[in-house]
Amino acid sequence: MSIASVGNIEKILERDGVYPSVTEGISMRPLFKTHRDMVILERVSGKLKKYDVALYKKGEKYILHRVIGIDDEKNVYIIRGDNTYKKEYVPMSSVIARLTSFKRKGKSHTVDEKPYRIYAVFWNFIYPIRYLFHLARCVLVKIYRALFKKRGKR
């Protein structure tokens, strides 16, 4: 999920310590929906923990994904969006902020609330099942398209 940025996020974080933004993209669904939800990000101080949501810069884009593991030997966070299936290895030095609170469907939440913490752990726990459903869906779509194309050519 990318962050809708106005100006330089790093400068704002350095100056204010906090950066509010609306979300863009689908990689953090079902938690966040594009242009509906707002996130409050705080400048990173110290090491992130598993299940924290990190903001890092990749090229010219700012990406907001969840920490699913930490490799201290290589100084990287293992990160994945809630709605993605590929791990990313992000240097700890590239992470500039972490999610501290958000406004979803008009209601404010913090990352310390029990329902949110349960969601974060549960959503990662069922990842293997979600991945299998994703693969099955991809295969079924390919089969359907192959059958549909062959019938249309006859």
Question: Which token pair is 119?
Answer: 């969601």
The predicted-structure confidence for 45-67, as pLDDT tens digits, reads as follows 899 999 999 999 888 889 999 99
Reference 38, options 108, 116, 97; nearest CA is 108
H or E, element range at 151: helix 127-153
For the entire predicted model, the pTM comes to: 0.83
The predicted-structure confidence for 78-121, as pLDDT tens digits, reads as follows 999 999 999 999 999 999 999 999 999 889 999 999 999 999 99
Whether 141 is covered by a domain: the verdict is no
The per-residue pLDDT for 5 is 55
* CA pair distance 37, 88, nearest whole angstrom: 24
Residue 80, helix vs strand vs coil: strand
H or E, element range at 58: strand 53-58
Whether 134 is covered by a domain: the verdict is no
Whether 132 is covered by a domain: the verdict is no
150 pLDDT tier (thresholds 50, 70, 90):
low
Whether 66 is covered by a domain: the verdict is yes
- The rounded mean pLDDT for the chain is 90
Whether 77 is covered by a domain: the verdict is yes
Number of domains, the chain: 1
- Owning domain of residue 82: 2-111
CATH number of the structural domain spanning residue 85? 2.10.109.10
* CA pair distance 107, 130, nearest whole angstrom: 27
Whether 145 is covered by a domain: the verdict is no
